[in-house]
């Protein structure tokens, strides 16, 4: 039976000093296939009940188990140990984020920024009786940004976030883009001031770490550049979108 | 996130837009500059010929816009870097003011250096 | 102690929809969820949501009545027809509203919401957003809750209902981030915690779909209805049971056995691969049992190759990613190995059309509830629909209930008492510690027992053996010990506490299945192969008892459609 060796970063706010993270090693046997998330459950169930991590769908759609695995941003559920090289699999929480415990980060700011950007469709006319018509072409513009699962990989990887705690981050700006390009959205001045700002889109220096980190292969950087252009088009050229 | 410190419309679009515009000006201006210096044959490269070229309106525009664009682009770039190191509130205002003083100072110095031909 | 007029437990589609409805009615409502609401299992739904919009060129004469007929026939006539009529009628405005709220449904060329054919449906009426409809709907609903400024207590694990003199007064919850238990008092509670898929080892469900919400209601004296009706989805990935949407067959995918034959022609010659899920799953299981699996093994193929790369990338991109990442198979190049997998709990908390239960002030909506609109077998595309239709109705009904009831009594004593009871329960688990039963061994035995003894095909002998095993596990679960006692994000505690509820719900499934001596919908008995309307055209009710469920029954509401034989 093959075995996978895990080296897991640990920290418990109730018993450990701030900054006193350590690594624990565990060996997990498996038959033919083992995801990192399954490995973590094995450890939690049989080797160390105190291990904490987030989990939900185990099918790469909920965004709970984003972690830093062998030096890369990944979803634990989507990462099969078959595809990892090296003797030991190093599992760490998303870096540059405050910790809750072990592999779970504090996502409070992350979601506060998501809410700040007004992440919802805005209309300023009476709703039609049926659906709001949208051409397939306009709908396809949404294909990428609506795939976002808000896992936090991009946010954790962004040097502009590391340097400026109030920078909204790639996830919130991608969400702003998702609504700004939606042909059904009629927000004119409501969302614009929230990203047209040096804590918003202009803080992005196109480092593109987010593109590298995204487990859904999305491109927040490109979306943010579009937002910068959109601000100019609206404020100087007076366009509606 | 310290929500209260996010003030709406604290700017950002103009510096970003001018960084783009000055980039274009720099590319075009440098092309003209290199073309004039290395390709165009002045005949003999002497003081009179160079001075003569400097008095033309075209080169006056090219040189001053290159100077302004170069200064803005460089100092705004420096500002962007420094902002990533936590300049906010009063320090940020001071940084902006300091960079404006430096930029305008160099620009005035550049104008002063070319003044004789401007008024010739 | 924290007070809100209305507490919604669970932040999936049904919970969010209920909260938004109540909030817009001016009620002080809060959501408590074990995960950030956008991570809920609703987001894993893929294929679509049914509504007779008549947008598809082939569904111009579709109506809600035809949708209702398909639903009732699909349910094997166990669904309550008044509830089905309500749902299929409400479907149309509810879907339009979702679109107006920003849900990115796919589009036809004329700009209307796109629809695709789905299993058991007479018309192509399943509205979809690629193969990520649940994800899109869930995020839209989170966005609406953000817009309505619904307070959300994220990563709070609700452990118990607070009940006083036959009235539900709130919940006790574990603060997963800070540690400790807190009482939330309320004038009404809506349970929207999803299904009990994880009582089976071969489930497509999220890991948090444990059925614990059902168990909390059950323990509080609310009966659970029709638990024995467990849907097996025909196409779960072989190694992980991850869902491959019915939409893959809706778009024209084939099911092939080991002989390369489209075997559905022998089971449902007209509907073929788009027969309802119970029939398709039984057909696959029969092929496997009779040795016609791939290479004689326990799986068959879902073949999409003939659809071509363009259609797969346009309509089924999520399926392709899942197959590549989790099975190592690219559907453009190879057929996907699949196996029937536990997918949905048709049964659940016994509610009426407004989500109301026998317990005053206590409502339920979504998969944890049983209205019943799915009866013996749910049609694909009706679960997302149920969440928004009945989430909305439960939110409105709870709001009305709150307005009609007087000022809340002082609940300090009750809150203190219930928190103390929860702390005592966890203290008892901790006192046994490692000397107690291993909860994960009990969990593993329970899930394999349910899979092996209460699967696609059932018979008395197998189920008796299974029920005995479950009763033994029920004994053992009373002796489990907690190994870790930390306050912050204590998975050991959550998973040990929820286990007891899971065992009770699983016992309910087992007892109901053994008692029902007929075959109906997903409940298929080899020893009673026929439907028995004379004796069994009725709902099963399971009442909690410490020694095992006490079964009763409740009549089915008929009306529009007379029961007839199901043929596809």
What band does B6 get if pLDDT is binned at 50, 70 and 90? Answer: low
Please state, in angstroms and as integers, the Cα–Cα distance from residue B61 to each residue in A131, B21, B54, C130, following that order.
56, 16, 10, 56
Please state, in angstroms and as integers, the Cα–Cα distance from residue C540 to each residue in C215, C222, C462, C487, following that order.
16, 13, 20, 40
pLDDT at B120: 66
* Angle (nearest 5°) at CA A208 between A202 and A213: 125
Closest CA to A105 of A114, A93, A116, A89: A93
CATH for the A3-105 domain, from 1.20.1260.10, 2.70.98.40, 1.10.357.10, 3.10.20.30? 3.10.20.30
Closest CA to C339 of C281, C379, C425, C279: C281
Q: Strand C336-345 to strand C230-237: parallel, antiparallel, or no bridges (unpaired)? A: antiparallel
Tens of pLDDT, residue by residue over A31-73, are 989 999 999 999 999 999 999 999 999 999 999 999 999 999 9
Q: Give the closest-approach CA distance of B93 to chain A in angstroms.
A: 14
Percent of chain C with pLDDT strictly greater than 90: 99
Structure tokens given for C90? 């409400």
A&B contacts, CB < 8 Å: 58
Cα of C301 vs its chain's centroid, Å: 26
Instruction: Answer yes or no: C249 catalytic.
Output: yes
Q: Where are the beta strands (DSSP E) in C196-295?
A: 224-225, 230-237, 254-256
Chain A positions touching C207 (Cβ under 8 A) are 55-58
Q: What are phi and psi of C499, to 5 degrees?
A: -60, -40
Tokens 């009673």 map to which residue? C528
Evaluate whether C108 touches C55 at the Cβ level (below 8 Å).
yes
Chain B positions touching A236 (Cβ under 8 A) are 17
List the catalytic residue out of C4, C41, C135, C249. Answer: C249
Structure tokens given for C226? 């029709």
Closest CA to C137 of C105, C91, C93, C89: C105
Tens of pLDDT, residue by residue over B85-104, are 878 778 888 999 999 999 99
Residue spans per domain, chain A: 3-105, 108-235
d(CA A198, CA A194): 10
Tokens 């007891």 map to which residue? C500
A232 vs B17: CB contact, 8 Å cut-off?
A: yes
Which stretches within C433-490 are classed as H helix? 439-453, 460-477
Query: Cβ atoms within 10 A of the Cβ of C34, count?
Result: 26
d(CA B117, CA B56): 9
Structure tokens given for C349? 């908390």
d(CA A184, CA A206): 28
* A160 Cβ under 8 Å from any chain B Cβ: yes
Q: Which of A40, A41, A57 to mutate to test the interface with C (most CBs of C within 10 A)?
A: A57
Structure tokens given for C545? 């008892």
Closest CA to A114 of A42, A170, A192: A170
d(CA B14, CA B74): 15
Which residue(s) pair with C356 in the sheet? C363
Which residue(s) pair with C6 in the sheet? C29, C188
| Domains of chain C and CATH, by start | 234-340 (3.90.700.10), 433-555 (1.20.58.100)
* A165 Cβ under 8 Å from any chain B Cβ: yes
pLDDT at A198: 87
d(CA A61, CA A78): 10
Residues A171-180 have a mean pLDDT of: 97
A108-235 CATH fold: Fumarate Reductase Iron-sulfur Protein; Chain B, domain 2 (1.10.1060)
Of C109, C147, C207, the CB nearest to A120: C147
Evaluate whether C130 touches C316 at the Cβ level (below 8 Å).
yes
Among A125-134, B30-39, C123-132, C443-452, the minimum mean pLDDT is found in: B30-39
Exposure string over A22-60, b if 16+ CB within 10 A, otherwise e: eeeebebebeeebbbbbbbbbbbbeebbbbbbbbbbbbb
Structure tokens given for C30? 């809060």
pLDDT at C335: 97
Tens of pLDDT, residue by residue over C66-80, are 999 999 999 999 999
Q: What are phi and psi of C7, to 5 degrees?
A: -110, 125
d(CA C553, CA C347): 13
SS3 C314: helix
Tokens 């995020």 map to which residue? C139
pLDDT at B4: 47
Structure tokens given for C425? 């329960």
Evaluate whether C346 touches C378 at the Cβ level (below 8 Å).
yes
Per CATH, the architecture of B13-37+45-118 is what? Up-down Bundle (1.20)
DSSP state at residue A92? E
Residue spans per domain, chain B: 13-37+45-118
Please state, in angstroms and as integers, the Cα–Cα distance from residue A90 to each residue in A40, A45, A76, A85, C183, following that order.
12, 19, 12, 11, 39
Of A164, A194, A232, the CB nearest to B84: A164
**Which residue in chain B has the smallest CA separation from A234?**
B13
Chains that contact B by 3+ CB pairs under 8 Å? A
d(CA C269, CA C265): 4
**Which residue in chain A has the smallest CA separation from B92?**
A198
Structure tokens given for A87? 């003797």
d(CA A29, CA A185): 51
* A125 Cβ under 8 Å from any chain C Cβ: no
Structure tokens given for A142? 């949404």
d(CA C265, CA C254): 11
Closest CA to C114 of C66, C167, C59: C59
pTM: 0.95
Of A14, A106, A149, the CB nearest to C487: A14
In this predicted structure, the answer to whether residue A150 has a pLDDT above a threshold of 70 is: yes
DSSP state at residue C496? H
d(CA C191, CA C357): 11
DSSP state at residue C60? T
Instruction: Answer yes or no: C306 catalytic.
Output: no
d(CA C251, CA C46): 13
* Angle (nearest 5°) at CA C284 between C281 and C285: 85
DSSP state at residue C374? S
568 residues of chain C, pLDDT tens digit each: 999 999 999 999 999 999 999 999 999 999 999 999 999 999 999 999 999 999 999 999 999 999 999 999 999 999 999 999 999 999 999 999 999 999 999 999 999 999 999 999 999 999 999 999 999 999 999 999 999 999 999 999 999 999 999 999 999 999 999 999 999 999 999 999 999 999 999 999 999 999 999 999 999 999 999 999 999 999 999 999 999 999 999 999 999 999 999 999 999 999 999 999 999 999 999 999 999 999 999 999 999 999 999 999 999 999 999 999 999 999 999 999 999 999 999 999 999 999 999 999 999 999 999 999 999 999 999 999 999 999 999 999 999 999 999 888 999 999 999 999 999 999 999 999 999 999 999 999 999 999 999 999 999 999 999 999 999 999 999 999 999 999 999 999 999 999 999 999 999 999 999 999 999 999 999 999 999 999 999 999 999 999 999 999 999 999 999 999 998 8
Please classify residue C100 by burial: count the beta carbons closer than 10 Å to its beta carbon, then call 0-12 exposed, 13-18 middle and 19+ buried: middle
Q: If you compute the radius of gyration of chain B from its CA atoms, what whole number of angstroms results?
A: 19
In this predicted structure, the answer to whether residue B3 has a pLDDT above a threshold of 70 is: no
Structure tokens given for A188? 């004119």
Closest CA to A7 of A148, A117, A103: A103
Of A198, A205, A236, the CB nearest to B12: A198
* A201 Cβ under 8 Å from any chain B Cβ: yes
* A234 Cβ under 8 Å from any chain B Cβ: no
SS3 C186: coil
pLDDT at B10: 65
Chain B positions touching A199 (Cβ under 8 A) are 6, 10
Q: Where are the beta strands (DSSP E) in C186-299?
A: 188-191, 224-225, 230-237, 254-256
């Amino acid at each position: 039976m093959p075995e996978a060796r895990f080296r897991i970063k640990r920290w418990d706010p109730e018993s450990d000093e701030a900054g006193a993270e350590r690594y624990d090693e565990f060996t997990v046997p498996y038959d033919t296939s083992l995801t990192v998330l399954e490995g973590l459950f094995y450890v939690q169930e049989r080797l160390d009940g105190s291990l904490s991590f987030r989990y939900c769908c185990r099918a790469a759609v909920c965004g709970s188990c984003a972690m830093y695995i062998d030096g890369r941003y990944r979803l634990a559920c989507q990462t099969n140990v078959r595809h990892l090289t090296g003797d030991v699999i190093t599992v760490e929480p998303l870096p540059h984020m405050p910790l809750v415990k072990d592999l779970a980060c504090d996502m409070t700011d992350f979601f506060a920024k998501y809410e700040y950007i007004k992440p919802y469709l805005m209309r300023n006319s009476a709703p039609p009786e049926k659906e709001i018509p949208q051409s397939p072409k306009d709908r396809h513009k949404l294909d990428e940004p609506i795939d976002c699962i808000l896992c936090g990989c991009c946010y954790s990887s962004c040097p502009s976030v590391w340097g400026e705690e109030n920078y909204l981050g790639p996830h919130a700006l991608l969400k702003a883009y998702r609504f700004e390009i939606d042909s059904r959205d009629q927000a004119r001045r409501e969302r614009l001031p929230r990203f047209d700002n040096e804590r918003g889109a202009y803080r992005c220096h196109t480092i593109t770490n987010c593109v590298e980190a995204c487990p859904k292969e999305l491109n927040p950087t490109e979306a943010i550049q579009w937002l910068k252009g959109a601000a100019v088009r609206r404020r100087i050229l007076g366009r509606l979108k | 996130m310290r929500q209260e410190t996010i003030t709406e419309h604290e700017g950002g679009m103009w510096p970003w837009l001018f960084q783009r515009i000055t980039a274009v000006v720099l590319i075009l201006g440098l092309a003209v500059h290199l073309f004039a210096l290395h390709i165009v044959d002045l005949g003999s490269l002497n003081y009179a010929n160079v001075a003569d070229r400097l008095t033309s309106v075209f080169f006056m525009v090219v040189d001053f816009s290159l100077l302004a664009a170069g200064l803005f682009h460089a100092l705004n770039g420096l500002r962007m870097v420094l902002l990533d190191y936590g300049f906010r509130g009063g320090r940020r205002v001071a940084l902006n003011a300091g960079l404006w003083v430096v930029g305008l100072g160099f620009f005035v110095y550049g104008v002063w250096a070319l003044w004789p031909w401007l008024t010739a | 102690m924290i007070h809100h007029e209305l507490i919604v437990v669970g932040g999936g589609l049904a919970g969010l929809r209920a909260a938004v409805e109540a909030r817009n009615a001016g009620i002080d409502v809060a959501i408590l969820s074990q995960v950030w609401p956008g991570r809920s299992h609703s987001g894993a739904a893929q294929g679509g949501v049914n509504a007779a919009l008549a947008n598809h060129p082939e569904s111009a004469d579709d109506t809600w009545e035809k949708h209702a007929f398909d639903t009732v026939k699909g349910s094997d006539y166990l669904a309550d027809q008044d509830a089905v009529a309500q749902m299929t009628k409400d479907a149309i405005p509810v879907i339009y509203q979702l679109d107006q709220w920003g849900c990115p449904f796919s589009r036809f060329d004329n700009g209307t919401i796109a629809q695709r054919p789905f299993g058991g449906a007479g018309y192509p009426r399943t509205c979809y957003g690629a193969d990520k409809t649940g994800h899109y709907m869930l995020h839209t609903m989170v966005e609406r809750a953000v817009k309505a400024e619904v307070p959300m207590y994220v990563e709070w694990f609700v452990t118990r209902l607070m009940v006083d003199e036959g009235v539900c007064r709130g919940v006790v919850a574990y603060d997963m981030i800070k540690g400790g238990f807190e009482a939330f008092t309320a004038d009404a509670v809506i349970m929207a915690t999803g299904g009990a898929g994880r009582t089976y080892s071969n489930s497509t469900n999220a890991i948090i779909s444990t059925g614990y919400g059902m168990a909390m209601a059950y323990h509080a004296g609310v009966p659970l209805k029709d638990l024995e009706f467990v849907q097996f989805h025909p196409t779960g990935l072989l190694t992980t049971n991850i869902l491959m949407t019915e939409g893959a067959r809706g778009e024209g995918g084939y099911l092939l056995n080991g002989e390369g034959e489209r075997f559905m022609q022998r089971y449902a010659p007209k509907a073929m691969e788009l027969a309802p899920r119970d029939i398709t799953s039984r057909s696959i299981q029969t092929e496997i049992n009779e040795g016609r699996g791939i290479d004689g093994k326990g799986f068959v193929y879902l073949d999409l190759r003939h659809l071509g790369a363009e259609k797969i990338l346009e309509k089924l991109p999520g399926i392709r990613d899942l197959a590549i990442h989790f099975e190592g198979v690219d559907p453009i190049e190879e057929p996907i190995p699949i196996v029937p997998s536990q997918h949905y709990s048709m049964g659940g908390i016994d509610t009426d059309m407004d989500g109301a239960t026998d317990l005053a002030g206590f409502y339920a909506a979504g998969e944890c509830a049983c209205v019943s609109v799915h009866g013996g077998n749910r049609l694909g595309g009706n679960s997302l629909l149920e969440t928004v239709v009945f989430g909305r109705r439960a939110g409105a009904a709870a709001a009305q209930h709150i307005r009609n009831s007087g000022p809340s009594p002082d609940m300090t004593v009750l809150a203190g008492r219930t928190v103390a009871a929860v702390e005592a329960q966890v203290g008892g688990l901790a006192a046994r510690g490692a000397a107690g039963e291993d909860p994960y061994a009990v969990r593993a035995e329970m899930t394999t027992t349910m899979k092996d003894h209460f699967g696609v095909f059932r018979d008395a002998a197998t189920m008796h053996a299974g029920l005995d095993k479950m009763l033994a596990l029920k004994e053992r679960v009373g002796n489990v010990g907690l190994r870790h006692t930390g306050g912050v994000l204590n998975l050991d505690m959550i998973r040990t506490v929820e286990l007891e509820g899971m065992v009770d719900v699983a016992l309910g499934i087992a007892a109901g299945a053994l008692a029902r001596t007929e075959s109906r919908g997903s409940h298929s008995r080899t020893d009673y192969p026929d439907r028995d309307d004379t004796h069994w055209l009725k709902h099963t009710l399971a009442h909690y008892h410490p020694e095992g469920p006490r079964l009763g029954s409740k009549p089915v509401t008929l009306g529009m459609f007379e029961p007839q034989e199901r043929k596809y």
